């Protein structure tokens, strides 16, 4: 739902159903839960709540877009990107399995569209996609799997599972809630020696993966105190954004700069989506900052910040539109080829 979207990294959103459950700190202020479609259809949010399938008209949208692909390509010089699903999670166990089968059938019938499937449940993907996708050379060229990563803990836990799939991929680091080092993922990596149950929901905190390192952006992998291997999978695309909405949490600009620099160093496409409600940019007449924020995530008064020293930044709550999306004087709109 819908034909067009204001989401910077896609052209259209398609929601086969609506509803989800909160499984991450990034879900705390979920925009989808309070979206107009969710409220209109009276969708209840929750891990075990019923998901609500959308209309036949909505399910037919991808086929219509696919039939118009030549017009889109002539206008934009590229294929149409479709985000599935912005108000749900395709790999949610609470959604009926037959609905996913219907999605795979739609994807098969619309080869001229590029699908972006974003999930917070990467451990379920291998069990839920068609078996043929997992065969050598079987993954559809027009399907890219993304995961939401809001902090280092999620990066260490979930990026290895994503890379293990060996499919086109991306990271959606929104809302970014802390600094993240993608050059040394410390909790496992895409290695067949890690038990499959470690990659599945419910086992993430109990398993003990091998002590390894992994540069998720360059594909370099190594055993601690061992030799480097430079033939591993890597992240194709990194999207970063701050939080918007009534209870939005601020994002320190150094977190974004670090990720940008990591991507530039490895020639990884980087897209900075937004600051969100908060920004460090001080416009004329903005007055004193609403709060001071340290690069480690702490908040303080001006007096406390000055007494502490270190990487403190004055933050203003200006709203999403005023905060904008320029980083160090320019926009960053990297896309994978």
Tell me how far apart the alpha carbons of residues 94 and 113 are, in angstroms, rounded to a whole number.
Answer: 27
253 vs 281: CA distance, rounded Å: 10
Counting residues of the chain whose pLDDT is more than 90, the rounded percentage is: 72
pLDDT at position 74 is 97
Whether 1 has a pLDDT exceeding 70, the answer reads no
For 173-210, the DSSP string reads E-S--S---TT---S--S-TTS-GGGGSTT-TTT----
**Mean per-residue pLDDT for 195-200?**
41
DSSP annotation of 249? P
Mean pLDDT is highest, among 11-20, 213-222, 280-289, for 11-20
Residue 175: cis peptide before it, omega within 30 degrees of 0: yes
143: number of Cβ within 10 Å: 18
pLDDT surpassing 90 at residue 333: yes
**CB proximity list for 145: less than 8 A, separation 6 or greater:** 117, 119, 122, 125, 162, 165, 167, 168, 169, 170
The answer, yes or no, to whether residue 165 has pLDDT greater than 80, is: yes
Grade residue 337 by pLDDT with cuts at 50, 70 and 90. confident
How much is the CA Rg of the chain, to the nearest whole Å? 20
Give the pLDDT confidence score for residue 199 in this predicted structure. 38
Tell me, what's the pLDDT at 283?
62
Residue 309 confidence (pLDDT): 77
- Whether 21 has a pLDDT exceeding 70, the answer reads yes
Q: pTM of this prediction?
A: 0.89
Task: Provide the residue ranges of all domains of the chain, joining segments of one domain with +.
Answer: 12-277
Share of the chain above pLDDT 70, in %: 87
Torsion of CA 134, 136, 141, 145, to 10 degrees: 40
Closest among 234, 60, 68, 82 to 144, alpha carbons compared: 82
Question: What is the per-residue pLDDT for 145?
Answer: 98
pLDDT at 187: 53
Q: Does pLDDT of 190 surpass 80? A: no
Task: Determine which of 51-60, 77-86, 136-145, 298-307 has the lowest per-residue pLDDT on average.
Answer: 298-307
* Higher pLDDT, residue 203 or 246: 246
Q: Give the strands of the sheet with 291-294, arranged side by side.
A: 278-279, 312-317, 291-294, 299-300
Q: Residues 36-61: what's their mean pLDDT?
A: 93
- Amino acid 69: pLDDT: 97
Q: Does domain 12-277 have CATH number 3.40.1350?
A: no
Per residue in 67-117, pLDDT tens? 999 999 999 999 999 999 999 999 999 999 999 999 999 999 999 999 999
């Amino acid at each position: 739902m819908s034909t067009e979207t204001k989401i910077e990294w896609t052209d259209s959103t398609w929601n086969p159903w609506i509803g989800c459950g909160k499984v991450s700190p990034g879900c705390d202020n979920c925009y989808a839960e309070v979206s107009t479609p969710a409220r209109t259809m009276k969708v209840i949010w929750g891990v075990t709540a019923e998901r609500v399938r959308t209309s036949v008209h909505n399910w037919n949208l991808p086929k219509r877009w696919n039939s118009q692909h030549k017009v889109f390509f002539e206008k934009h010089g590229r294929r149409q990107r479709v985000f599935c699903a912005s108000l749900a999670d395709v790999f949610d166990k609470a959604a009926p399995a037959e609905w996913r089968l219907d999605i795979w059938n739609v994807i098969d019938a619309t080869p001229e569209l590029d699908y972006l499937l974003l999930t917070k449940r990467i451990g379920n993907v291998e069990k839920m996609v068609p078996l043929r996708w997992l065969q050598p050379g079987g993954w559809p060229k027009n399907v890219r799997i993304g995961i939401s990563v809001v902090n280092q803990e999620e990066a260490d836990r979930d990026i290895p599972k994503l890379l293990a799939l060996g499919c086109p991929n991306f990271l959606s680091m929104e809302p970014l809630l802390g600094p993240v080092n993608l050059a040394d993922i410390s909790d496992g990596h895409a290695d067949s020696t890690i038990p499959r149950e470690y990659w599945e929901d419910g086992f993430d905190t109990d398993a003990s993966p091998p002590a390894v390192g992994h540069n998720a952006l360059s594909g370099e992998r190594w055993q601690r105190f061992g030799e480097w291997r430079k033939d591993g999978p890597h992240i194709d695309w990194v999207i970063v954004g701050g939080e918007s909405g009534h209870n939005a949490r601020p994002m320190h600009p150094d977190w974004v700069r670090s990720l940008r620099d990591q991507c530039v160093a490895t020639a990884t496409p980087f897209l900075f989506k937004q600051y969100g409600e908060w920004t460090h940019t001080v416009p004329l007449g903005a007055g004193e900052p609403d709060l001071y924020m340290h690069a480690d995530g702490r908040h303080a008064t001006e007096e406390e910040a000055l007494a502490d020293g270190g990487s403190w930044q004055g933050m203003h709550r200006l709203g999403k539109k005023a905060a904008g999306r320029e980083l160090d004087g320019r926009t960053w709109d990297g896309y994978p080829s």
